[in-house]
Amino acid sequence: MEVNQETIQHLAELSNFALSESESAGLQSNIQEILTYISELNQLDTEGIEPTYQVFEMENIWRPDEIMKQDASPDELLSLTETVEKHQIKVPKVL
């Protein structure tokens, strides 16, 4: 898998961040090296093996369908941002 600037820009877009030009150049070589390294996994035979996504060993944890007491009030949470108007968080235009 060859990583070029197009790949980097695509990944930055998927990741929702802006990259400077010098950053993009550095990331291109870094990500190329990392992908080359992790590709060594192909040497491991996983034929017929089921994947593991968690090591918790428990399933279906049930609890009563009741609202749990929250640790923070809406006012406390809103106080974490500076741009609050009419009990709403204000953001730049969306469209």
Per CB under 8 A, 74 contacts other proteins: no
Per CB under 8 A, 67 contacts other proteins: no
32 CB-near residues (< 8 Å, 6+ apart): 2, 3
Residue from the set 6, 15, 65, 67 that interacts with other proteins by CB under 8 A:
15
74 CB-near residues (< 8 Å, 6+ apart): 87
91 CB-near residues (< 8 Å, 6+ apart): 83
Q: How many residues bind other proteins (CB under 8 A)?
A: 55
Per CB under 8 A, 94 contacts other proteins: yes
Torsions phi, psi of 65, nearest 5? -80, 65
Q: Which residues bind to other proteins, rule: CB under 8 A?
A: 1, 7-8, 11-12, 14-20, 23, 26-27, 30-31, 33-35, 37-44, 46, 49-58, 61, 63, 68, 71-73, 76-77, 80-82, 89, 91-94
